[in-house]
Amino acid sequence: MTKNLAVKDYANENSPTWCPGCGDYAVLRGIQRSLHQLQIEPENTTLVSGIGCSGKIAHYFGGYSIHSTHGRALTIAQGIKAARPELTVIAAGGDGDGYGIGVGHLVHAARRNLNITYIVMDNGVYGNTKGQTSPTSPIGYQSSTTPIGNMDTPINPLLLTWSSGASFIAQGFSGNFKHLENLIVKGIQHKGFSLINVFSPCVVFNKAQGYDFYKENIKYFDQPSSSPEEFVGMLSQSKMPAGILWQKPPNSTITEDLVKNEEDNNLAKYLFSKVI
C-alpha cells in the first residue's frame, strides 16, 4: 500500500461547477476524505457516475472514473467489480438517475450483494433539467411537470433496497459532514452491497427542502437495527432517519430473516404495512 497519501491525491485539476451551496460538494469531499482515511490508493479505486448534476462528480475525482449513461451506473460498477474484484468500486448518482430509470438495476445490485458502495445524492428534484418532479419528490411538490402538486407517492429507497437484500443501508446529510464521512467510510469497509442515501439539497430548484428543513426533520440513530422489526421501526419513527440503519453479514439474506418458518410467511406483509 502507498503510504502518506494526501486528500489532494483524490482530486484532479477540474474545479466543480455545481451551484453555490449544492449538497453535492460535501458528497465529493466525503468520498475523497473517506478514501484518504482508509489510505486506499486512487489508482485502485473506480468511481462510476450517472446522468444529472450528480453525474459530474466523476469529473472531479482523482482516481479512475466513468461518467456513464442515464441510470446505468450500477451496471457498469458491477461489471468492473466482477472483472477486477480487488478494486474499490463506488457508484454515485442522483435520485432521478438511481430511483427512476435506474431503479431496476438497484434492485438487482442489492440482491447480488457485490462489494460495491452506492452513494445517491437525493434532492427530491430533477435539478439538471430545471426542477421537474423526481421519484423522491414529496406529495404536493409543485414543478413544471406537476403544476398543481405531485400526486404520486414518493419512492422509499431505504425500504426498497432492504427488501431487495442489501446488507448495508445508511442515510446521511450534506449539512452534517463528519457524520456523512463516517457513513462513507463504513460503507466502503462493508463487504457487500452498500447503499448510502444522502439528503443533498438543491438550493436552486427545491427551496422547500433546504438545509434548515433537513436539520429540523432528520432523526439520528446511533446503532444499526438488529432485526427486520427494528429496521421498520426506525422508518416508522421518522421519515428522515439518518445513520447506519441496517447492516448484516454479506452471506445473510433478507429472505432468511423474514421467513423462518411457515407461521412467519405473513411477517413481510405486516412489516411493510407499518411504513406504507
pLDDT, tens digit (0-9, with 9 covering 90-100), for 126-174: 988 888 999 999 999 998 899 999 999 999 999 999 999 999 999 999 9
The cell for 40 is 486506499
pLDDT, tens digit (0-9, with 9 covering 90-100), for 14-73: 999 999 999 999 999 999 999 999 999 999 999 999 999 999 999 999 999 999 999 899
What integer pLDDT is reported at residue 273 of this predicted model? 55
Tell whether 188 is covered by a domain. yes
Question: Which domain does 154 fall in, by range?
Answer: 9-273
pLDDT, tens digit (0-9, with 9 covering 90-100), for 195-215: 999 999 999 999 899 999 999
Tell whether 4 is covered by a domain. no
Tell whether 2 is covered by a domain. no
Q: Answer whether 0.75 is exceeded by the pTM.
A: yes
Residue reference for cell 406529495: 139
Tell whether 163 is covered by a domain. yes
Tell whether 189 is covered by a domain. yes
**Please, what's the b/e burial string for 62-91 (b: 16 or more CB within 10 A of its CB; e: otherwise)?**
bbbbeebeebbbbbbbbebbeeeeebbbbb
pLDDT interval class at 188 (50, 70, 90): very high
Closest CA to 72 of 44, 46, 93: 93
- Which CATH number fits the domain that encloses residue 234? 3.40.50.970
Tell whether 45 is covered by a domain. yes
- Domain count for the chain: 1
For the chain, the average pLDDT equals 90
Tell whether 63 is covered by a domain. yes
* Residue 42 CB neighbour total at 10 angstroms: 22
- Sequence-ordered strand ranges (E) for 123-262: 125-126, 132-133, 168-173, 194-199, 219-220, 241-247
Tell whether 1 is covered by a domain. no
